[in-house]
């Protein structure tokens, strides 16, 4: 085994007390005035996000997740007047990635959570709204429970309207459940990053919420390189770990897409620059990229359908290659197949025992106790996560999605 297995890790070892008043229920009025804890070589300092370039070397490659949150919550009424909520997760077919799902016309089969499902006994639910000067009628039907979610058919007229417009017209932006409040007008802007482009997430890559045009100007001025990847964040990011050992927790799969140009930039940077990911989603994308490249390196004729990363694969692969070899193999495979980007699905879990292949540092928010995100932090800086979180709690840092953040350099 290339890395020690995390399956026996006790999630109770990654608990801490998070008082309710430490959770940021709303963002600050200025994105870049959030605090940033800087952890490097066991030293802890703090600055504001607006001064980020003061602590980043000029030979840094910053990687952002450019996904955009969709209005994933839709509400319908039964004939008795009960309100039923549909929380869109993803298209049912594994061959439909998020961007293709958003472009579907007339009908789509989806996975979704259904709130108040017991009140939706039978039949279809319908709703009509006005959008862009025309009436949209949406019908949801064929409800079938699969595990903890449902398969639902959503159809609409006019049929030339794309699914993204349906969600925009009928849906509302899903805030994290721990905020314990409804979506407000300001959230429509503030729960998106300023660089959000690709529709498909049901949760924001929250580390990126602190970045502003001013920060990007300072990044450019210092000569720091940047690139973007796409990982569409699923609702599973909020899924609590219910098993005592991590081996009993199933990670959610998420779609990722990375262009050939970004892979070439990573290849060019892996030995001469510090590679820093903005957010755990960017981290999971970039590290998954290595394992995809490793698969191609040892099997250049691999089928596209086999280019996925399952939860435990990185811990079970005994034969590895270098980062440069993996990235070059992936570039060659894409060019051979006339593709300008890799589209894949990753289920990777990064936990203590994982050896980071590409990244040197991570910019991220402060995460919930006993979460897989906290396991990722521990994989990066070891038991020092406890000291980092104690410092944040004792020095008035704001926690979770709308809270402050940290720059953590790999131990």
Q: Please determine, for residue 84, whether its predicted confidence score (pLDDT) is greater than 50.
A: yes
Residue 2 confidence (pLDDT): 45
pLDDT in tens, 222-243: 999 999 999 999 877 767 888 9
Residue 5 confidence (pLDDT): 73
What does the domain layout of the chain look like in residue ranges?
11-68+191-409, 72-172
Compute the average pLDDT of residues 145-157.
90
Residue 94 confidence (pLDDT): 64
Whether residue 404 contacts residue 365, with contact meaning beta carbons closer than 8 Å, is answered with: yes
Write the CB contacts of 95 (distance below 8 Å, at least 6 apart in sequence): none
Structure tokens at 140: 């949801």
Determine how β-strand 198-201 pairs with β-strand 67-69: parallel
pLDDT in tens, 109-118: 999 999 999 8
Residue 4 confidence (pLDDT): 59
Q: How far apart are the first and last CA of the chain?
A: 22
CA 237 to the chain's CA centroid = 7
Q: Please determine, for residue 333, whether its predicted confidence score (pLDDT) is greater than 80.
A: yes
Q: Please determine, for residue 283, whether its predicted confidence score (pLDDT) is greater than 70.
A: yes
**Predicted confidence band at 1 (pLDDT cuts at 50, 70, 90)?**
very low
pLDDT in tens, 122-131: 789 999 998 8
Q: Please determine, for residue 253, whether its predicted confidence score (pLDDT) is greater than 90.
A: no
| Rounded Cα gap, residues 297 and 209, in angstroms | 36
Structure tokens at 87: 């929380």
Q: Please determine, for residue 91, whether its predicted confidence score (pLDDT) is greater than 50.
A: yes
pLDDT in tens, 26-52: 999 999 999 999 999 999 999 999 999
pTM above 0.85, yes or no: yes
Write the CB contacts of 116 (distance below 8 Å, at least 6 apart in sequence): 82, 83, 84, 85
Residue appearing with tokens 């050992």: 245
Compute the average pLDDT of residues 202-223.
97
3-class secondary-structure state, position 204: coil
Q: pLDDT exceeding 90 applies to what percent of the chain?
A: 85
> Hey, which CATH number is domain 11-68+191-409, 3.50.50.100, 3.20.20.70, 3.40.1780.10, 3.40.50.1000?
3.40.1780.10
**Predicted confidence band at 143 (pLDDT cuts at 50, 70, 90)?**
confident
Determine how β-strand 405-409 pairs with β-strand 361-365: antiparallel
Provide Rg for the chain, Cα atoms.
21
């Amino acid at each position: 085994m290339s890395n020690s297995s995390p399956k026996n890790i006790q999630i109770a070892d990654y608990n801490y007390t998070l008082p309710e008043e430490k959770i940021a229920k709303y963002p600050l009025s200025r994105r870049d005035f959030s605090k940033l804890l800087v952890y490097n070589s066991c030293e802890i300092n703090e600055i504001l996000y607006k001064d980020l370039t003061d602590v980043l070397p000029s030979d840094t490659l910053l990687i952002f997740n450019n996904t955009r949150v969709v209005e994933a919550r839709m509400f319908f009424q039964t004939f008795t007047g009960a309100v039923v909520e549909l929380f869109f997760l993803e298209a049912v077919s594994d061959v439909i990635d998020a961007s293709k799902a958003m472009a579907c016309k007339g009908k789509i089969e989806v996975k979704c959570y259904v709130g108040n499902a017991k009140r939706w006994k039978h039949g279809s639910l319908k709703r009509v709204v006005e959008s862009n000067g025309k009436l949209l009628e949406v019908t949801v039907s064929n409800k079938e429970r699969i595990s903890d979610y449902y398969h639902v058919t959503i159809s609409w007229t006019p049929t030339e309207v794309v699914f993204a417009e349906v969600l925009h017209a009928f849906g509302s932006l899903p805030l994290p459940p721990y905020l314990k409040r409804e979506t407000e007008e300001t959230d429509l802007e503030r729960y998106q990053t300023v660089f959000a482009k690709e529709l498909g997430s049901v949760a924001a890559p929250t580390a990126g919420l602190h970045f502003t045009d001013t920060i990007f100007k300072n990044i450019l001025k210092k000569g720091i390189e940047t690139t973007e990847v796409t990982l569409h964040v699923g609702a599973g990011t909020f899924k609590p770990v219910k098993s005592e050992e991590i081996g009993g927790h199933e990670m959610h799969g998420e779609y990722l897409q990375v262009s050939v140009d970004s892979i070439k930039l990573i290849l060019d940077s892996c030995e001469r620059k510090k590679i820093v990911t903005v957010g755990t989603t960017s981290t999971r994308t970039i590290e998954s990229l290595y394992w995809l490249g490793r698969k191609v390196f040892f099997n250049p004729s691999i089928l596209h359908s086999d280019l996925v990363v399952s939860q435990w694969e990185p811990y079970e692969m005994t034969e590895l290659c270098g980062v440069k070899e993996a990235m070059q193999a992936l570039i060659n495979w894409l060019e051979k197949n006339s593709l300008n980007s890799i589209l894949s699905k990753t289920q990777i879990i990064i936990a203590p025992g994982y050896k980071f292949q590409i990244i040197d540092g991570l910019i991220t928010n402060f995460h919930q106790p006993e979460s897989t995100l906290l396991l990722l932090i521990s994989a990066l800086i070891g038991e020092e996560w406890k000291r980092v979180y104690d410092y944040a709690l004792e020095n008035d840092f704001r926690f979770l999605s709308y809270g402050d953040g940290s720059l953590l350099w790999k131990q």
